Amino acid sequence: MQLGVPELLLILAVVVILFGVGRIGKIGKELGTGMREFRKGIQGDEEDKPAVTTPLTDEQKKS
């Protein structure tokens, strides 16, 4: 079962009637933000990775 252009237009019209144009924009923005955050979580953020450190010397361990 495939959706054609008339079916997609009918679905779009129903969505616009139910939610209104302004709310659809907000939903789209929130959906995009959520997807972006999800991708960051899956791939890992460069800022979250620990920096490469050098081993502590004996003097640094004492203080």
Angle at 36 between CA 53 and CA 47, to 5 degrees: 10
Residue 8 DSSP class = H
Is the per-residue pLDDT at 58 higher than 80? no
User: Structure tokens of 55?
Assistant: 């081993």
pLDDT of residue 55: 72
pLDDT score of 44: 75
What does pTM read for this prediction?
0.46
| Domain residue ranges of the chain, discontinuous segments joined by + | 13-44
Read off the pLDDT of residues 5-48 as tens digits, 9 standing for 90 and up: 999 999 999 988 988 888 888 888 999 999 999 999 888 755 55
Would you put residue 53 in left (φ > 0), alpha (ψ -120 to 50) or beta? beta
Q: pLDDT band for position 52 (50/70/90)? A: low
